[in-house]
Amino acid sequence: MSHSERTLAAFLVGDLDPVDAAEYDRHILECDACWTAVHEDRRGRDRLDTLREPAPARLADAVRQRVEAAAARRPQPRRPARIVATVVCVTVIVLAGAVTATRVGGPHRDPAVLASVVAAAADRSGVALPSGVTLDRLVVDGHAVVLARSAALFPMPPGGHPVNDADHAPWIAARGEVNLLCFSRPTPALLAGRVPAAELTGLARALGLQSS
Amino acid sequence: MSRPRRLQTVVDHRKFLDAALPHIDVLHNVARGLTRDRGAAEDLVQETYLRAFAGFGGHRGGDMRSWLVSICLNTARSTWRRSQRRVGEVLSPEVGGAEPAPGRDPADVAVAEVERSTVAAALAVLPEHYRVALTLVDIGGLTAQEAAVVLGCPRGTVLARVHRGRRRLAASLESEGIRRES
C-alpha cells in the first residue's frame, strides 16, 4: 500500500485528525487521481450497502429449533443430588446383601437348616434348628464336630458337589472354616466341623456314617 | 504426541441463544456475501449457530459478534474446500426469494432485488481477499478492527483491501453500464 493510498484509506475511515483531514480535503480537490479514488470507493460502498438486509424471521426460528434439538440430544449433566442418591442406593444394596449373606452363614444363600448346622459347627450361640432336625455336638479323634440328623434329605447347597456319580451319593461343601459332609443313606446325616475336608471322611467312618 | 482432549462443557442452550441470536442479521449478511445464494446463506447461518453452540462452553467471553463471524467464515471455507469451488461461486444471480416488506410496492421490491443480484454477481468475481474484506466490513458491518481480528491480519491490511475492493467493484459495475442513478 503506497503512502498516498494509506493516507487515503485513513481519510476515508476517519482515522485522520481534523487538521490532516481538512488538508486532505483540499488535496482531493486538486488531485484527479485521489478524487477518482475517493469517489470510486464511495460508489462501491454504496452499492454494497444494498446487500445489507435483516435476516428473515424464519431463519431465526430455524436456528432456535436446531439448537434446541441439538441440546436435547446432549447427555444431561449429572446433578449432585442425583450422584448422592445413586451413592445412597448402592450403599443400601451392598449393606443389605452383606447382612443377608451373614444371616445365611456366608456369601451363599443356603437353606435354613444348613445355615443352622454351619452356625453350630462354628460355635455360634443361639442357633435355632428347624423342626424335625436333631443336632449332637461330638468330639471324634480330638476334633469337635456337630452331627445333624433328619428324616428329610439335607439339600445340597450352592458350591457343594457329590463325591461320586451314584444316586444319592454323599456330598461335600465348605462354608468358611467349616466343612460339611452329608449322607442320604441309610438315614440323612450331616457332619460338620472346623476340620479339614480330608479328615472329615475319616471321622464319618469312625462314627459309622460311611462304610469303608 | 497425542492431541489434548477438548474440554466438554454442558451449556444451557437458552443462554447461548440469548447471547448469540441478536447477531443473526450480521451473520445473515456475511453469509449472503460469502455464498450469494439465499438458500446456501441460510444453511450457512444455521450451521454456524450449531458449531457455535457446540463450542460455546469453550468461549472465553470475548466479542460474541466477531467470534460468530469467525465461525461463519471458517464454515464457509470448509464448505468451499469440500466443493472445490470458490466462496460465492455457487449459483447464478437469483431474483426474488426475499421476504417482501409489508406495504412495499412489488415493483420497488423487484427493482431492489435486481440491484442486489447485480451487485452480488460483481462481488462474487472479485479475488477472495477483497470479497471477504468487503463482506465483513461493508455487508456484515464489522469495524476494520473486528475484521482484522477475524482475519488475523493488521487493521491497515483490512482497510487497504476494503478500499481496493470497493474501487474494483464500482469499476466493474460501471464498465458494464450498470451504474446506479443516485
Cα separation, A142 vs A10, in Å, equals 111
Residue with cell 444471480: B93
Amino acid at A99: V
Smallest CA-to-CA distance from A173 within A117, A100, A97 is with A117
Are the C-beta atoms of residues A32 and A4 closer than 8 Å to each other? no
Residue A145 CA, chain-centre distance (Å), reads 43
CA distance A164 to A172: 11
Q: Whose grid coordinates read 444319592?
A: A168
Q: How far is B54 from chain A (nearest CA, A)?
A: 9
**What DSSP element (H or E) covers A191?**
strand A189-193
Using DSSP's 3-state secondary structure scheme, residue B148 falls into helix
- The CATH superfamily label for domain B13-92+106-175 reads PhyR, sigma-like (SL) domain (1.20.140.160)
Compare CB distances from A59 to B42, B116, B123 and report the shortest one's residue: B42
Domain boundaries, chain B: 13-92+106-175
- Comparing CA positions, the residue from B51, B95, B70, B83 lying closest to residue B150 is B70
| DSSP strands (E only) in chain B | none
pLDDT in tens, chain B (182 residues): 444 444 444 568 898 999 999 999 999 999 999 986 788 899 999 999 999 998 887 777 778 999 999 999 999 988 877 765 555 544 344 444 555 555 666 777 777 778 888 898 899 899 999 999 999 999 999 999 999 999 999 999 999 999 999 999 999 998 866 555 44
pLDDT of residue A105: 46
pTM, 2 dp: 0.57
Chain B residues inside the 8 Å CB shell of A38: none
Give the model's confidence band at A130: pLDDT under 50 very low, under 70 low, under 90 confident, else very high: confident
The pLDDT tens digits of the residues spanning A149-206 come to: 988 888 888 888 888 777 778 888 988 889 999 998 888 999 999 988 878 888 888 8
- Residue A129, judged by CB atoms within 10 A of its CB (0-12, 13-18, 19+), counts as middle
Residue A4: strand, helix, or coil: helix
Cβ separation of A74 and B50 shorter than 8 Å? no
Task: Return the residue in B108, B118, B158, B167 with the most chain A beta carbons within 10 A, the one to mutate for interface testing.
Answer: B167
What pLDDT is attached to residue B75?
A: 92
Q: Residue B55: is it exposed, middle or buried by C-beta count within 10 angstroms (0-12/13-18/19+)?
A: middle
Question: Are A43 and B166 inside 8 Å of each other by CB?
Answer: yes
Alpha-carbon span B118 to B175, nearest angstrom: 13
Question: Nearest C-alpha of chain A: how many angstroms from B13?
Answer: 6
Q: Which helix (H) or strand (E) holds A94?
A: helix A80-103
In this prediction, the answer to ipTM > 0.90 reads no
Contacts of A40 in chain B (CB under 8 A): 166-167, 170-171
